Structure formats: C-alpha cells, structure tokens
Amino acid sequence: MGPSGCGKSTTLSLIAGLDAPTAGTVTVRGNQVDGITDSAGFLFQRDALLPWKSVRDNVLLPLQLRGVRSDEARTRAAEWIGRVGLRGFEASYPHQLSGGMRKRVSLAQTLVYDPQILLMDEPFSALDVQTRNLMEAELLGLWQGSGKTVIFVTHDLEEAIALADEVVVMTAGPARVKARYDVTLPRPRDIEHVRLDPRFTELYSKMWNDLRDEVLESYARANAAG
C-alpha cells in the first residue's frame, strides 16, 4: 500500500488509462498502458453510486458490465456487502445512507470484481474525523493479506503514514517526486494507536519538512489566482 503525500490525481488517471501521457510511457505490471487498465479499480473523492439503484444493484453493476453470470454476480455482491458491514441495507438507496455508508458501498463496488490495483483519490476527505478513522481501519482490514497494490492520494500526512508502506511526496506543480519514505511501522496497525508511536512522530516530522514548502507554494498560487 503506498499513499502519496501531496499527490496528484493525474497520476492515478495515467495508471488507470483514463489519460494519456504527454511524453514517455506508463507501464503497469510490466505492460505499457495504452487503454483502460482492466486490472485497476478506481475509488474517487466523490462516490460514483447511481442514485436510482439500491446498494445491491450498485455493487452488482461492475459485474454485470463484465458479463459475470447472474447467480455468481449476486453471490459475490452479497459477500462484499457483508464484508463492508452493510448486510441488511441491500435494498437501501444512496440518499438513505450516511456518507460513511456510501463510502462502504463504493468500496464494495470497486473490490467486488477483484482488481489487483486499487487507485484511491482522497476517498475519505469529505468524511468527519471519526468516520474517516473507521473507513481507514476498514480499508486496512480488507487489504491485509490480499496481495493488492493500493495507490492512495491524500493531502493528509497523518493518513498517509498510518496507511502506507511507502509515502511519496510530490511537488506542488508540475508534479514531480520530491522525496520517498519507507514506513516501517509494524502491521497489522491500529489506526488510532499507531499515531501515538514515537516512530510515527519522527516520520511525520521528517516528511513535513519536505512537504511544508510545497504547501506554502500551493497556498501562494491559490491566493495569486484569487
């Protein structure tokens, strides 16, 4: 799992094959990306749930689009709805759910077709702190032992350290890699308690020194544009 400090969603779009590079090439698992990356699942900052479909039907949708047999699709959808803690809400619609519950549906919708790469663009940024911590813990629990690669864009340095094996700090623009840090905090991790580990504080301090100039530059650009 590799969250990116001050990351750029453009990077995720290139990996997913939604955008083409202006120069050079993008390779995923040794293969050059020249179209949509079938092995990647994308979780956006805003959920992409269809408001006229129930929880069950939203989770079923990617399987139906891939031509998965109806009985197998329903079995897999039911399994993932249960795994994200939404059993009993299968017939509910997005407007009937809290923000955290909608994120759980989006997570099930993305993981139900078993992508090997999970691309996450600040997926929890709109949630309150308590719900955000719950969703981070949920993600770690689902990811643990799965063998999946997760690339997680976030502007929250604490979130990056708590989740990651490696944090990549990007420049404010144009997006370039400024620094990389290995996160050697032990797993499995408790989202709340890992932040109290002295090694967490040490990593935070080192990374913030790299990130601070980029944050200040971003603020300066925003103020100039306004």
Polymer length of the chain: 226
Which of 5-14, 101-110, 151-160, 181-190 has the lowest average pLDDT? Answer: 5-14
Query: What confidence score (pLDDT) does residue 6 get?
Result: 39
Residue 197 has pLDDT above 80, yes or no: yes
Measured between alpha carbons, how far is 52 from 55 in angstroms, rounded to an integer?
10
How do residues 52-61 score in pLDDT, each as one tens digit? 999 999 999 9
At residue 82 the predicted structure's pLDDT band, cuts being 50, 70 and 90, is very high
Left, alpha or beta for 25 (phi > 0: left; psi -120 to 50: alpha)? beta
Residue 5 has pLDDT above 70, yes or no: no
* Over residues 111-122, mean pLDDT: 90
The domain in which residue 45 lies consists of 2-225
Query: What confidence score (pLDDT) does residue 4 get?
Result: 46
Measured between alpha carbons, how far is 147 from 213 in angstroms, rounded to an integer?
35
Phi, psi of 149 (to 5 degrees): -90, 130
Residue 7 has pLDDT above 50, yes or no: no
Q: Is the peptide bond before 188 cis (omega within 30 degrees of 0)?
A: yes
| Upper half-sphere CA count for residue 58 (Cβ side, 13 Å) | 28
Question: What DSSP string runs through 153-207?
Answer: EES-HHHHHHH-SEEEEE-SSS--EEEEEE----SS--HHHHTTSHHHHHHHHHH
Measured between alpha carbons, how far is 187 from 93 in angstroms, rounded to an integer?
36
Higher pLDDT, 201 or 31: 201
Query: What confidence score (pLDDT) does residue 226 get?
Result: 65
Q: What is the CATH number of the domain that holds 49?
A: 3.40.50.300
At residue 76 the predicted structure's pLDDT band, cuts being 50, 70 and 90, is very high
Amino acid letter for position 140: L
* Over residues 63-71, mean pLDDT: 93
Alpha helices in the chain (DSSP H): 9-16, 55-65, 70-83, 99-111, 129-143, 157-163, 191-194, 198-225
- Threshold 0.85, pTM exceeds: no
Q: How many domains, in total, are found in the chain?
A: 1
Residue 1 has pLDDT above 70, yes or no: no
Contacts of 113 (CB under 8 A, 6+ apart): 41, 62, 63, 66, 68
Residue 157 has pLDDT above 60, yes or no: yes
Residue 113 has pLDDT above 50, yes or no: yes
Q: Is there a contact between 37 and 16 (Cβ–Cβ < 8 Å)?
A: yes
Query: What confidence score (pLDDT) does residue 144 get?
Result: 85
Q: In the chain, what percentage of residues exceed pLDDT 90?
A: 45
Beta bridge partners of 217: none
